[in-house]
């Protein structure tokens, strides 16, 4: 860690722990120079870093001020799913969401679709267009079964940001993260095996569990720290769990980042029960924190972590470029990937490799990370303004989705159906449970809309919620 | 059927049955007009059709002559695989083939890669490039989970050529045919189920059987008519077979087309044992016969046939656009496809839709079909010239691969390894068996090479074969 990063770390801790609150003036540069025994430029760099992270702002001739607001809303309570292996249902509902066509006027809060209008994405589009014009012949033959080497090299380099040391040979390119998760599940399990998952949990991975003839055991999950390790350990003692499937960094749908110590502890648990971890890191690179949080994979000593990611959430889902770092399951994963869809198209891989290599991927994620953080704060503000008082809201540390828990009398499935005819689309919480729990919850995104649209969408939602409370006689 | 098609059919039958042989003069136009009671232009059209099919040629001022040569070589004998369900092995060998990097000088007879240098492919490349330039934004978001509607419409239309009546809603777009086959297998089976396959059989589908925890029962297969229905019926009586997976049209690796009556009978067998058929039609559109042979799907009354195809063999594999017509398994197939890799990229689908809609797909397949037929005749000629006298060769009716059976003392796995260091690459027969049978066989392609290269490749192979016969003391 560089000197300025150390100084920034101390300041960040002080802000995030609430020692300095929004609007507070921070120590002067001179004070910090004396306190930390570093140069003026080191302190300036530290402050600059915190500015990038939107934690502080410089006011001309006045100094630096905190602009970071801790969540003042109540977080959803730790979930209490049934503690036994169950078959995943809910496919019909997932399908409805997948097939839903939104009107041009619909405010889309439903899909986890990234912002794809920023100018920082343009170099990628240009590269794709150039490749298609000048190297179109590359789009015709079969490519490398493990994916284009130049891309695997870039991904290996990128992974150092999350504390991973990977060799290009340790990577297998997939058609998005969905294929990665499906392939990993099938590579490490046999039909009938039990998989431990967070609850709530991404519906795509749960449907993959179902399709692979596996059972899920939903583990209680805290809205701030993720999977309850105590509950997991209990489940591990009680059931022959084969693998743990988690999204510990910028979780979908909650947005939390599991603390580093917990990630390490989770890895040690997997070691002591000799099972593997499938780690979904698809939102990891758009954590609001810089440097980005470490992956569980970064603690992996014996290859038992299969890390899955893709550029679908950080860049664009239509690119369909994902990857697996399969650890000691490399051969099996290569087999299942080949069987799954043979090789992936070459040109998108080359375009992404160039996007990373030129530094533009980092530039793009830096840009959208700020936007998303602002989006989060704005969405939370809107929800607090319009939704019932007893609403609970998760407080994402990255990505662009959050979890809303209404009081238990509300029926969000009904709400979603009512909204569908209208102006706003949402993802009901039942999608994120194996058995249709979380009927009073919803996942909302804050990536694409303008602030005006977002507020309008939330107002519409609030309107339907109010109608429901009047009809049903609760509030 | 139009009048001229009826006349052409009679003539074609006479040629293919050997009533007229190569070099024979055909009846004059006047004779046929009298015989069939049709107009001069109808007969002219019929002859034109047969010219397109390369069965006959017009010699100025002399009339029409047969230029079609029946296979004068001995076909491989009907295969005799073990008649019991077995686990598929051979993955390591398949992987070697997939990972093999050929030198620039290597004559590639190994992969089933289409000819991608014909000018008839250019409009597709131009369209892809144009789309990427003018509608690049379409490459960013998630697309339709079942695939782009415009493409499904075009495929439905195309399927009428093989006797199928399909609605766009009856189609699911996949990432190539490999994903299609994998998805179908997983949609219609449970782990442990038994699947009947041709023997020899495409290694990709056999590895998919293995990865889905299924067992294969290899059915004896005739080099001219395909799967032995008698043997299949015996197996159906004896074993609880769940599905039949076949490539009945332009088979990989043999090239035969199962006769229409046999296809119908196969369907009826599936009906009476109430099981389903997964039909791989990936080479169907480049059958040498026009109109192209009907699919088994065309006889499907109750939705038990899942038809899989793609544009990988007819256009280019790198495009990664395939499709499934899943019949009554539509919902399950949609689920497994979503889980497998979510949706497919949009732009390649739009480009292919345009390629079909503009008539250029038909133009391209007409063009390459002729090339491939010439390639087949040339390759067979080369093999007969250089290989041992007792070599047997299949006689493809479409596509660009054929099957060579050396006498049983030869070891083609060794041969392939020797060739690898050298000038030519081949696919050893063991890849096409669940258990490593066909060690004296190989699959060769005749798509890409010039005639000079092809002859040189076969000469090299013959050299190694001769070396082996000297070392091993057989001939």
In this structure, are A170 and A283 located in the same domain?
yes
Residues on chain B touching A174 (C-beta within 8 angstroms):
341
Nearest CA of chain A to the CA of B130: how many Å? 8
Asked if B190 has any chain A CB less than 8 Å from its own CB, the reply is yes
Q: The tokens of B196 are what?
A: 């009947």
**Region B432-444: what's the mean pLDDT?**
94
In this structure, are B274 and B181 located in the same domain?
yes
Residue A216 within any structural domain of the chain = yes
Q: If you average pLDDT over every residue of chain B, what do you get?
A: 92
Residue B217 within any structural domain of the chain = yes
Final residue of a structural domain among A296, A331, A361: A361
Residue A71 within any structural domain of the chain = no
Among A152-166, A200-214, B111-125, B128-142, the range scoring the smallest mean pLDDT is B128-142
Residue A154 pLDDT grade (very low, low, confident, very high; cuts 50, 70, 90): very high
Residue A296: is its pLDDT beyond 80?
Answer: yes
The pLDDT score that the predictor gives to residue B51 is: 87
Residue B267 pLDDT grade (very low, low, confident, very high; cuts 50, 70, 90): very high
Q: CB count, 10 Å around CB of B151?
A: 28
Instruction: State chain A's maximal CA–CA distance in angstroms.
Output: 66
pLDDT digits (tens, 9 = 90+) for B363-409: 999 999 999 999 999 999 999 999 999 999 999 999 999 999 999 99
A160-165 contact pairs (CB < 8 A, 24+): A161/A285, A161/A291, A161/A292, A162/A249, A162/A281, A162/A284, A162/A292, A162/A293, A162/A294, A162/A295, A162/A297, A162/A298, A163/A294, A163/A295, A163/A298, A164/A295, A164/A297, A164/A298, A164/A307, A164/A325
In this structure, are B394 and B269 located in the same domain?
no
Residue A84 within any structural domain of the chain = no
pLDDT digits (tens, 9 = 90+) for B11-66: 888 887 667 878 889 999 999 999 899 999 999 999 998 888 778 888 888 899 98
In this structure, are B128 and B167 located in the same domain?
yes
Among A65-69, A134-138, A368-372, B188-192, the range scoring the smallest mean pLDDT is A65-69
pLDDT digits (tens, 9 = 90+) for B282-298: 999 999 988 999 999 99
Among chain B residues, CA nearest to A141: B318
Q: By percentage, how much of chain B surpasses pLDDT 70?
A: 98
Distance (Å, rounded) from C-alpha B382 to C-alpha B457?
9
In this structure, are A240 and A352 located in the same domain?
yes
**Nearest CB partner across the interface for A318, out of B113, B176, B346:** B346
Residue A124 pLDDT grade (very low, low, confident, very high; cuts 50, 70, 90): very high
**Residues in a beta bridge with A309:** A323
In this structure, are B291 and B420 located in the same domain?
no
> Which residues in B88-101 are b (16+ Cβ under 10 Å) and which e?
bbbbebbbebbeee
Residue of A120, A121, A339 to mutate for B, most B C-beta atoms under 10 A = A339
Residue B475: is its pLDDT beyond 60?
Answer: no
Residue of A148, A318, A319, A445 to mutate for B, most B C-beta atoms under 10 A = A318
**Nearest CB partner across the interface for B139, out of A207, A318, A346:** A318
Task: Enumerate residues 102 to 161 of chain B having a beta carbon within 8 A of any beta carbon in chain A.
Answer: 111, 113, 116, 121, 125, 128-129, 132-133, 136-143, 145
The pLDDT score that the predictor gives to residue A473 is: 61
* Contact criterion met (CB < 8 Å) for B145 and A99: yes
Q: Which domain holds residue A297?
A: 123-361
The pLDDT score that the predictor gives to residue B290 is: 86
CATH at B376 = 3.90.1150.10
**Nearest CB partner across the interface for A113, out of B141, B316, B334:** B141
Among chain B residues, CA nearest to A316: B140
Q: By percentage, how much of chain B surpasses pLDDT 90?
A: 77
Residues on chain B touching A113 (C-beta within 8 angstroms):
141-142
The pLDDT score that the predictor gives to residue B24 is: 87
* Contact criterion met (CB < 8 Å) for B142 and A179: no
Among A101-110, A168-177, A402-411, the range scoring the smallest mean pLDDT is A101-110
Distance (Å, rounded) from C-alpha A330 to C-alpha A170?
7
Residue B472: is its pLDDT beyond 70?
Answer: no
Task: Enumerate residues 205 to 244 of chain B having a beta carbon within 8 A of any beta carbon in chain A.
Answer: 207-208, 210-211, 213
In this structure, are B241 and B314 located in the same domain?
yes
Residue A474 pLDDT grade (very low, low, confident, very high; cuts 50, 70, 90): low
Asked if A340 has any chain B CB less than 8 Å from its own CB, the reply is yes
Nearest CA of chain B to the CA of A458: how many Å? 23
Residue B33 within any structural domain of the chain = yes
In this structure, are B205 and B281 located in the same domain?
yes
Q: Which value, in Å, is the radius of gyration of the alpha carbons in chain A? A: 22
**Region B430-453: what's the mean pLDDT?**
94
Asked if A348 has any chain B CB less than 8 Å from its own CB, the reply is yes
Task: Enumerate residues 83 to 102 of chain B having a beta carbon within 8 A of any beta carbon in chain A.
Answer: 91, 94-95, 98-99
With tokens 């599936």, the residue in question is B270
Residue A82 within any structural domain of the chain = no
Nearest CA of chain A to the CA of B308: how many Å? 13
Nearest CA of chain B to the CA of A104: how many Å? 15
Nearest CA of chain A to the CA of B450: how many Å? 18
In this structure, are A16 and A113 located in the same domain?
no
In this structure, are B403 and B381 located in the same domain?
yes
Residue A200 pLDDT grade (very low, low, confident, very high; cuts 50, 70, 90): very high
* Contact criterion met (CB < 8 Å) for A139 and B182: no
* Contact criterion met (CB < 8 Å) for A320 and B133: no
Nearest CA of chain B to the CA of A185: how many Å? 11
Among chain B residues, CA nearest to A192: B191
Final residue of a structural domain among B361, B382, B415: B361
CATH at B42 = 1.10.10.10
Residue of B125, B128, B211 to mutate for A, most A C-beta atoms under 10 A = B211
pLDDT digits (tens, 9 = 90+) for A37-48: 999 999 999 999
In this structure, are A100 and A234 located in the same domain?
no
Per-residue 3-state assignment (H helix, E strand, C coil) for chain B:
CCHHHHHHHHHHHHHHCCCCCCCCECCCHHHHHHHHCCCHHHHHHHHHHHHHCCCEEEECCCEEEECCCCCCCCCCCCCCCCCCCECCCCHHHHHHHHHCCCCCCCEECCCCCCCCCCHHHHHHHHHHHHHHHHCHHHHCCCCCCCCCHHHHHHHHHHHHHHCCCCCHHHCEEECHHHHHHHHHHHHHCCCCCEEEEEECCCHHHHHHHHHCCCEEEEEEEECCCEECHHHHHHHHHHCCEEEEEECCCCCCCCCCCCCHHHHHHHHHHHHHCCCEEEEECCCHHHECCCCCCCCHHHHCCCCCEEEEEECCCCCCHHHCCEEEECHHHHHHHHHHHHHHHCCCCHHHHHHHHHHHHCCHHHHHHHHHHHHHHHHHHHHHHHHHHHCCCCCEECCCCECCEEEEECCCCCCHHHHHHHHHCCCEECEEHHHHCCCCCCCCEEEEECCCCCHHHHHHHHHHHHHHHHHHHHHHCCC
Asked if A273 has any chain B CB less than 8 Å from its own CB, the reply is no
Nearest CA of chain A to the CA of B475: how many Å? 37
**Region A46-51: what's the mean pLDDT?**
90
**Nearest CB partner across the interface for A342, out of B142, B176, B339:** B176
Distance (Å, rounded) from C-alpha A38 to C-alpha B281?
71
Q: CB count, 10 Å around CB of B271?
A: 15
Residues on chain B touching A213 (C-beta within 8 angstroms):
190-191
Q: Number of structural domains, chain A?
A: 3
Measure Cα distances from B443 to B134, B218, B397 in Å. Answer: 43, 18, 15
Residues on chain A touching B143 (C-beta within 8 angstroms):
318
Distance (Å, rounded) from C-alpha A177 to C-alpha A167?
19
3-state secondary structure of A213: coil
The pLDDT score that the predictor gives to residue B474 is: 54
Residue of A209, A211, A329 to mutate for B, most B C-beta atoms under 10 A = A211
Among chain A residues, CA nearest to B191: A191
Residues on chain B touching A317 (C-beta within 8 angstroms):
140-142, 342
Measure Cα distances from A468 to A419, A439, B288, B313, B431 in Å. Answer: 12, 14, 65, 56, 62
pLDDT digits (tens, 9 = 90+) for B215-234: 999 999 999 999 999 999 99
Residues on chain B touching A141 (C-beta within 8 angstroms):
113, 116, 316-318
Residue A23 pLDDT grade (very low, low, confident, very high; cuts 50, 70, 90): confident
pLDDT digits (tens, 9 = 90+) for A74-92: 889 888 888 899 999 989 9
Residue A86 within any structural domain of the chain = no
Q: If you average pLDDT over every residue of chain A, what do you get?
A: 92
**Count of CB contacts below 8 A, A vs B?**
172
**Nearest CB partner across the interface for A145, out of B98, B132, B340:** B98
Task: Enumerate residues 35 to 94 of chain B having a beta carbon within 8 A of any beta carbon in chain A.
Answer: 91, 94
**Nearest CB partner across the interface for B142, out of A113, A128, A207:** A113
**Nearest CB partner across the interface for A179, out of B176, B190, B340:** B340
The pLDDT score that the predictor gives to residue A420 is: 75
The pLDDT score that the predictor gives to residue A472 is: 66
Residue B378 within any structural domain of the chain = yes
pLDDT digits (tens, 9 = 90+) for B131-166: 988 888 888 988 899 999 999 999 999 999 999 999
Residue A17: Cβ-neighbour burial (10 angstroms; 0-12, 13-18, 19+) = exposed
The pLDDT score that the predictor gives to residue A72 is: 59
In this structure, are A379 and A415 located in the same domain?
yes
**Nearest CB partner across the interface for B318, out of A139, A179, A208:** A139
3-state secondary structure of A62: coil
Residues on chain B touching A319 (C-beta within 8 angstroms):
139-140, 345
- Within 8 A by CB and 6+ apart from A274, the residues are none
Residue B72: is its pLDDT beyond 70?
Answer: no
Among chain A residues, CA nearest to B332: A211
Residues on chain B touching A341 (C-beta within 8 angstroms):
174-176, 178-179, 182, 320, 340-341
Residue A435 pLDDT grade (very low, low, confident, very high; cuts 50, 70, 90): confident
The pLDDT score that the predictor gives to residue A77 is: 86
Residues on chain B touching A136 (C-beta within 8 angstroms):
125, 128-129
Q: CB count, 10 Å around CB of A438?
A: 24
Distance (Å, rounded) from C-alpha B403 to C-alpha A434?
49
CATH at B195 = 3.40.640.10
**Nearest CB partner across the interface for A140, out of B182, B186, B316:** B316
Final residue of a structural domain among A361, A378, A399: A361
Task: Enumerate residues 300 to 319 of chain A having a beta carbon within 8 A of any beta carbon in chain B.
Answer: 316-319
The rounded Cα A396 to chain-centroid distance in angstroms is 9
């Amino acid at each position: 860690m560089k000197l300025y990063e150390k100084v920034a770390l101390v300041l960040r801790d002080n802000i995030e722990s609430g020692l300095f609150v929004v609007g507070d003036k921070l120590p002067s540069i001179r004070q910090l120079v004396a306190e930390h025994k570093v140069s003026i430029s080191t302190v300036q760099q530290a402050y600059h870093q915190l500015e990038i992270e939107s934690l502080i702002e410089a006011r001309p001739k006045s100094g630096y001020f905190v602009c970071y607001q801790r969540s003042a809303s109540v977080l959803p309570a730790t979930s209490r799913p049934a503690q036994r292996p169950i078959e995943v249902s809910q496919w019909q509902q997932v399908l409805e969401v997948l097939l839903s066509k939104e009107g041009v006027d619909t405010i889309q809060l439903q899909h986890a679709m990234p912002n794809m209008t920023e100018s920082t994405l343009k170099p990628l589009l240009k590269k794709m267009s150039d490749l298609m014009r000048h190297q179109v012949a590359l789009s015709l033959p079969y490519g490398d079964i493990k994916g284009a080497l130049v891309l695997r090299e870039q991904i290996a380099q990128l992974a150092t940001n999350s504390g991973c040391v990977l060799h290009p040979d340790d990577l297998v390119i997939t058609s998005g993260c969905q294929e990665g998760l499906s392939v990993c599940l099938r590579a490490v399990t046999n039909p009938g095996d039990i998989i431990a998952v967070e609850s709530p949990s991404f519906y795509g991975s749960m449907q993959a569990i179902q399709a692979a003839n596996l059972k899920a055991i939903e583990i209680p999950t805290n809205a701030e720290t993720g999977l309850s390790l105590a509950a997991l350990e209990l489940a591990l003692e009680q059931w022959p769990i084969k693998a743990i499937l988690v999204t510990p960094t910028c979780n979908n749908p909650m947005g939390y980042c599991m603390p580093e110590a917990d990630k390490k502890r989770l890895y040690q648990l997997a070691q002591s029960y000799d099972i593997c971890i499938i780690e979904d890191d698809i939102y990891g690179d758009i954590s609001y924190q810089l440097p980005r949080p470490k992956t569980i994979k970064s603690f992996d000593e014996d290859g038992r972590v299969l890390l899955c990611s893709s550029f679908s959430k950080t860049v664009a889902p239509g690119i369909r470029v994902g990857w697996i770092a399969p650890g000691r399951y490399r051969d099996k994963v290569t087999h299942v990937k080949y069987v799954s869809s043979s090789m992936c198209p070459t040109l998108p891989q080359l375009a992404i490799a160039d996007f990373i290599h030129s530094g533009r991927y980092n530039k793009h994620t830096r840009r959208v990370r700020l936007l998303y953080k602002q989006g989060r704060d704005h969405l939370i503000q809107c929800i607090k303004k319009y939704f019932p008082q007893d609403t609970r809201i998760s407080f994402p540390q990255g990505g662009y989705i959050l979890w809303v828990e209404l009081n238990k009398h509300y029926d969000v499935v009904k709400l979603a159906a009512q909204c569908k005819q209208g102006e706003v689309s949402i993802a009901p919480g039942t999608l994120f449970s194996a058995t249709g729990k979380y009927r009073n919850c919803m996942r909302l995104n804050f990536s694409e809309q303008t602030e005006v649209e977002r507020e309008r969408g939330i107002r519409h939602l609030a309107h339907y919620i109010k109608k429901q409370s009047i009809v049903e006689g609760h509030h």
